[in-house]
Structure 1
Amino acid sequence: MIENGISEVYFYFLVSGILVFLLTKLIKETEKYCYYHFNKIYCLHCCIIRKKLPKKEQEFLALKVPFYNKLSNTQKKVFEHRVAIFVVNYRFKSRGGLEISKDMKLLLAASAVTLTFGFRNTRFPMLDIILLYPKKYTSVITKKIHKGAYNPRLKTLVFSWEDFLLGNKIINDNINLGIHEFTHVIHLNSHKKKDLNSVIFKREFRALKKMIYNDVTLKKKLQTSGYIRKYGFKNQYEFIAVLLECFIETPKEFKALFPQIYKRIKKMLNFNFLGY
């Protein structure tokens, strides 16, 4: 009787596991089909159980995060849930005697959630640790002074806290360290992962590079307009990071100057809300 019982339980779990696997596969393929044919990601902000932030933390976001204030009440709940998830998903470490507060974690999470608000899956598999320095620091790897850096091998994202705060304080200069460095995480993640958002990001960025390469006039305008800072032309990784800083901070100006590029980035991030 015991052996039969064990066999039945094993069979039950085996069948259940297979069904869950097949159902997950079906959902993912259906999702891709819907996006490619209807250009839409369904159930973008669906969640069975949402985590809530205490009222004090909600008020903090309202005070410090302009993007959060633009959201509807329903969208704010999604934003809060994702911030709460982010804070517990990653390890926060510091150097130079910097003490990490809950408010600091909330601000870091808010940067990541803002950038990925058009994504369904906001977990970064290639990120485990967020390391904070009080100010600019000398990298042990490059031996150069940095404001921020992403090391995919160590799954670590590094920030100068002073410069991170400055990027959040000035909201229209197209310099935002949080957005910049989290873009690097998303970009490299898209090379390794096959979830829908990674596929979209990679595909749209490839199309964007091709469009600029084939349009000499557009390329020259990018280089001479003064809108895109020079650091963005260092390589493809810095280019997309700087573009996304502009997209988040000054979307109206971006759209007016470079409507074709703006459209690509909008699709890349699936930003179909807030008038983007």
Structure 2
Amino acid sequence: MRVVARYDLFFIVSYALLIPLVGVLILWLSGRTVVLPLLLLLEALYLMLALRKPWQRRLGLRTSFPGAWREFLLSRSVYFRGLDQDGRMQFEHDVRLFLVDVRISGIGGRSLSWPIRLLIAAGAAAMLHGRPDWEPPLVDGVTVYPGMSFDRNYQVKKGNIAGQAPPRGPMLLAEGSLLQGFADAEDGFNVLIHELAHFFDREARKDGLKLRLRSGTVAWAEAISLEWQRHDHGTSLLSAYAAQNEAEFFAVASEMFFENPRPLHDAHPELFEILREFYQQDPRQVLEKNFKGN
């Protein structure tokens, strides 16, 4: 994540230049200097709105990363623990920007403890680690439900839904399932990774993401669809839930990719290549350091 995303920077600069050019054109055509104060006011208002998010991000980075947060991540995030010094600095940078940008709350706007908010930010930072130009696609934030699950009517501590990624609205997570996902770092199950993968999947389809695979350049939607269709779900390392559709296939595979990538690579190398290209990273290089004493 960047303080100013390249995509945003392009439009900020473009419109900042366009406004005075239009003003000069109006002045030239009308000959009325009264437009100059209005032009300056419009430019100031535009810059104030356009630079609001980068300014908030810059302020968020001015504060040092709390030592308690770092110790918590070292104890709960295998991914963070496996990074080198530069990698940890980038990870902490992304965590702070995520917490500045993304609204994380309980039902009805209830405030949450910092460990819960930090775990959510840490999961997103891991998934974004290879994609510094990407932004977390959570414009409506994250809502955390108490207990292990909720039902289809969003009744807490009922049903068997651990999380949801609706096309509109916030990402939904059950707090107990969120904690459970980080408690066992190798079981291949993490509700946060699963649901956030759905958001990334939809953004990639919308943006027309292309993957450079050994077989050639392929559109993201086509690559994951073909892989789902030819995947042997009967003998797959992935859970049976992955067979439902290509979206769930990708989400389940993403859980394994970030939690236990070596078996996934060995069993399904073509799928692993797709995920590695999508996320622009190979978690084996990070996670296996934890098992080498580093």
Residue type of the partner of 2:179? L
Matched, 1:210 2:240: no
- Cα 1:208–1:235 change in 2 (3 A) is closer
Deviation string 1:21-80 (CA, Å, 9 cap, x unpaired) is xxxxxxxxxxxxxxxxxxxxxxxxxx9998241222112111111100111111111100
Shift of 1:141: 7.2
Counterpart of 2:117?
Answer: 105
Counterpart of 1:230?
Answer: 240
Q: Is the 8 A contact 1:98 1:134 kept in 2?
A: no
- Cα 1:187–1:208 change in 2 (3 A) is closer
State, as a whole percentage, how many aligned pairs show the same letter. Answer: 23
Query: C-alpha distance in 2, partners of 1:97/1:141?
Result: 15
Structure 2 unaligned spans of 5+: 1-31, 48-56, 213-217, 287-294
Query: C-alpha distance in 2, partners of 1:183/1:103?
Result: 22
Matched, 1:56 2:72: no
Residue type of the partner of 1:152? P
Residue type of the partner of 1:157? M
Q: Could you say what the CA RMSD is over the residues aligned between the two structures, in angstroms?
A: 3.7
Matched, 1:163 2:174: no
In the TM superposition, 1:238-257 aligns within 5 A as 238-257=248-267
Counterpart of 2:84?
Answer: 72
Query: C-alpha distance in 1, partners of 2:278/2:59?
Result: 27
Q: Who wins on radius of gyration, i.e. which is larger?
A: 2
Residue type of the partner of 1:223? G
TM-score of the aligned structures, taking structure 2 as reference length: 0.69
1:151 aligns with one of 157, 166, 175: 166
Count of equivalent residues: 236
- Quick check: 138-147 or 84-93, which moved more? 138-147
1:189 aligns with one of 203, 211, 215: 203
1:260 aligns with one of 260, 265, 270: 270
Deviation string 1:112-163 (CA, Å, 9 cap, x unpaired) is 1111211123423453221111121123379964110012222x10111101
Counterpart of 2:15?
Answer: none
Query: C-alpha distance in 2, partners of 1:262/1:57?
Result: 31
Residue type of the partner of 2:234? Q
Q: Is the 8 A contact 2:162 2:177 kept in 1?
A: yes
TM-score of the aligned structures, taking structure 1 as reference length: 0.73
Query: C-alpha distance in 1, partners of 2:100/2:74?
Result: 21
Counterpart of 1:137?
Answer: 150
Q: Is the 8 A contact 2:145 2:174 kept in 1?
A: yes
Q: Is the 8 A contact 2:257 2:283 kept in 1?
A: no
Query: C-alpha distance in 1, partners of 2:183/2:223?
Result: 33
Matched, 1:179 2:193: yes
Residue type of the partner of 2:263? E
- Cα 1:126–1:189 change in 2 (3 A) is farther
- Cα 1:122–1:53 change in 2 (3 A) is farther
Counterpart of 1:44?
Answer: none
Q: Is the 8 A contact 1:163 1:177 kept in 2?
A: yes
Counterpart of 1:24?
Answer: none
Query: C-alpha distance in 2, partners of 1:208/1:131?
Result: 28
Q: Is the 8 A contact 1:111 1:178 kept in 2?
A: yes
Deviation string 1:77-101 (CA, Å, 9 cap, x unpaired) is 1100100111121112213997511
- Cα 1:141–1:189 change in 2 (3 A) is farther
In the TM superposition, 1:109-124 aligns within 5 A as 109-124=121-136
Residue type of the partner of 2:192? G
Query: C-alpha distance in 1, partners of 2:115/2:196?
Result: 18
Shift of 1:103: 1.3
Residue type of the partner of 2:246? Q
Q: Is the 8 A contact 1:183 1:240 kept in 2?
A: yes
